[in-house]
Structure 1
């Protein structure tokens, strides 16, 4: 690793990560490692952007996913290209991939092959449905996992049809959890001296993310359905109209319900039969929601937020995305971080949401162009300019 590639002052400084990922789930994992100081080398095949669902390299999605990396293009289907990969693997700490389960074996870059040249390697994989089993061979994407994992059956308004969640939650969760798994394996390596293979899948994380809805079935035999904006079990928790835009609020515990009734100047609700117990409120949720709506629609959202917040009632406006980034708290949290792209100009990208005391975090580098660092990394590996020119001429690298 060159001195320029070394990131100092960040917790993952000194780690080298080889990024073989495509689409979103794998890059989400790698983004965590890159953001927190690892030297990440993204390895893509020549002309890799074709077929990548995150779009062309100048697009908003690609730019947000691949910051803080170096970029190479290597044809791993060639022996010479594979030899370069293994040169890098011998110096690396982590490899991340999210190909179909069988592809890494077909290419010969699977965990066993990499571990043979570097026993300390931590190898992370994401697949659609798991590395084996009856669906292990299948390709998987986020919405398929949302459907098969049960999420779409509990999302949306009752009777209005099935609805996917508005973000690729299976992709993002798989990436986030694989990053956690990689860090656990790296910690384990400090004791054992050896790396290991860690993997998850879109289906596994989607079932895991059902959380209490899954335990309702496993422990109580209840099959959850759609509940719209209502919380499935805690009433009132939901979205209510105001004179300008809707607000979300939650006042389901006994103490919060009493404070909520007083804040709305409806003390009689506290003693109304059926409304004075949690089970009763759950059974009569439609009437309670209608009564709350009749009150909240008479004043604008800010009026209610200023009344409910001092009473300790969680509440907030329903923002569009532009309103979210215009929110003073979101701006205080600096969730939109500036970065200068040498070709595309000034950009703002989404900040990593993790905060660490006494660590200054920033987006160090904009997303590189495909193959931008191929020559530099090859030179670090000891390849001469003539060697590099021959590799380029043969389209082994680009």
Structure 2
């Protein structure tokens, strides 16, 4: 079972694609009941975001993209057409029986159907309503659509990534992922406020805002100094060294984030002489003389193989790790020990591999997962239980294309 931390909380999930579905998946992992509302016959756009697609027990390709599987576990799927009057009534009825509603339609879209926060709070002032949009509910760009790469470019994230001569986006849809984390945190805070005061609220979350907020110390370096930080490729923006180094055979990532760790590196490398050089003796000095020390460190690291370096650095308690492709990631003994790869039973695929939730509770552990639902898998069950739709009524709704 998922964690019981949020047992008793019901989330109505009208979101699609990645950022907001990641937020509702987090809430589901933590024990909330999440009802995913999708379009009849089509569903969440991300169901088709392949290849790759999941495979059936015999190796045959299914119609479910891995992208969709990444952010929809532990949910139930209901199909309702929100563009129809009957569909709107069903969603309003489900919202009235929910604690949280999450949506990521373009600004103003759901108001046309009477499903915006202003409309729904009249029936339930305790409802926590989260709206995730590209640019937010206000401002000159509020009506614009957008995707992760656009927000990486506009927020400054690309200005921090890549080599000096070439900005580059993060390979993962990082603004979406970070927005999902901000979103789940915001919902939890709003629920805490609701429980204390009896008052729900509207949460306006923008991907552009979240992308900028994630720049953290990179943005602060600029705000404090007024100088635009240079891109450093695989180098960090803290102490020196903090970057990828090529060894005799393969690369590793090495960080000596303070003077003690740098001294330990010098001992591991048998280069205590570096500690006698005023340019390198302190963290600030190494940062100021970055261009002088890096060639020295690069030459040192090329003298041994990666595994030789990892062994001696570990012995001297210097933080370092190998560069891993995904096969090496999932074979890593620490990853395996931590249980970050799980398998669930899936009616279409048989055994389905999933990434685990990384949160480890002592009192309310996440101990199991259900597979991301098939389109409309729980429509009859949810509508019967929560809206008291009879089998005869459900047949009529299906015949009219409402569900």
TM-score by length of 1: 0.94
Question: Mean Cα displacement is larger for which, 277-286 or 234-243?
Answer: 277-286
Secondary structure of 1:191's counterpart equals: helix
Is 1:23–1:54's contact at 8 Å kept on the other side of the alignment?
no
Residue number in structure 2 paired with 1:148: 154
**Aligned-partner Cα distance in 2 for 1:167–1:9:** 27
Q: 1:344 aligns with which of 346, 349, 360?
A: 349
Does residue 1:24 correspond to 2:30, yes or no? no
**Aligned-partner Cα distance in 2 for 1:86–1:97:** 14
Q: 2:395 aligns with which of 356, 378, 389?
A: 389
Q: Deviation per CA, 1:178-216: give whole Å up to 9, x if none.
A: 100000000011111121111211100111011111112
**Aligned-partner Cα distance in 2 for 1:212–1:16:** 36
Count of matched residue positions in the alignment of Structure 1 and Structure 2: 390
Q: Deviation per CA, 1:348-370: give whole Å up to 9, x if none.
A: 10111111113332343111111
Is 1:75–1:395's contact at 8 Å kept on the other side of the alignment?
yes
Is 1:49–1:55's contact at 8 Å kept on the other side of the alignment?
no
Is 1:67–1:363's contact at 8 Å kept on the other side of the alignment?
no
Is 2:256–2:319's contact at 8 Å kept on the other side of the alignment?
yes
Residue number in structure 2 paired with 1:85: 91
Secondary structure of 2:107's counterpart equals: coil
Q: 1:266 aligns with which of 271, 276, 293?
A: 271
Q: 1:215 aligns with which of 203, 216, 220?
A: 220
**Aligned-partner Cα distance in 1 for 2:38–2:168:** 34
Q: 2:39 aligns with which of 45, 54, 57?
A: 45
Residue number in structure 1 paired with 2:143: 137
1:308-319 matched pairs, under 5 angstroms: 308-319=313-324
Is 1:124–1:198's contact at 8 Å kept on the other side of the alignment?
yes
Q: CA deviation at 1:8?
A: 8.3
Secondary structure of 2:81's counterpart equals: coil
Secondary structure of 1:58's counterpart equals: strand
Q: Deviation per CA, 1:17-51: give whole Å up to 9, x if none.
A: 10000110110100001111111110011123474
Is 1:234–1:282's contact at 8 Å kept on the other side of the alignment?
yes
Is 2:76–2:378's contact at 8 Å kept on the other side of the alignment?
yes
Q: Deviation per CA, 1:318-371: give whole Å up to 9, x if none.
A: 111111111110111111111010111101101111111133323431111111
Q: CA deviation at 1:251?
A: 1.3
Question: Mean Cα displacement is larger for which, 366-375 or 245-254?
Answer: 245-254
**Aligned-partner Cα distance in 2 for 1:319–1:344:** 28
Secondary structure of 1:262's counterpart equals: helix
Is 1:338–1:363's contact at 8 Å kept on the other side of the alignment?
no
Identify if the C-alpha distance between structure 1 residues 9 and 240 changes in structure 2 by more than 3 Å, giving closer, same or farther.
Answer: closer
Q: CA deviation at 1:233?
A: 4.0
Does residue 1:322 correspond to 2:327, yes or no? yes
Does residue 1:234 correspond to 2:239, yes or no? yes
**Aligned-partner Cα distance in 1 for 2:361–2:44:** 37
Cα RMSD after superposing both structures: 1.7
Question: Structure 1 unaligned runs (5+)?
Answer: 1-6
**Aligned-partner Cα distance in 2 for 1:46–1:203:** 31
Residue number in structure 1 paired with 2:59: none
1:108-127 matched pairs, under 5 angstroms: 108-127=114-133
Identify if the C-alpha distance between structure 1 residues 8 and 33 changes in structure 2 by more than 3 Å, giving closer, same or farther.
Answer: closer
Question: Structure 2 unaligned runs (5+)?
Answer: 51-62
Question: Mean Cα displacement is larger for which, 345-354 or 303-312?
Answer: 303-312
Question: Mean Cα displacement is larger for which, 369-378 or 281-290?
Answer: 281-290
Q: Deviation per CA, 1:195-251: give whole Å up to 9, x if none.
A: 111121110011101111111222221211211122224211111111232111111
Question: Mean Cα displacement is larger for which, 51-60 or 112-121?
Answer: 51-60
Q: Deviation per CA, 1:294-339: give whole Å up to 9, x if none.
A: 2222222222122112322111001111111111101111111110
Does residue 1:282 correspond to 2:276, yes or no? no
**Aligned-partner Cα distance in 2 for 1:72–1:293:** 56
Identify if the C-alpha distance between structure 1 residues 143 and 218 changes in structure 2 by more than 3 Å, giving closer, same or farther.
Answer: same
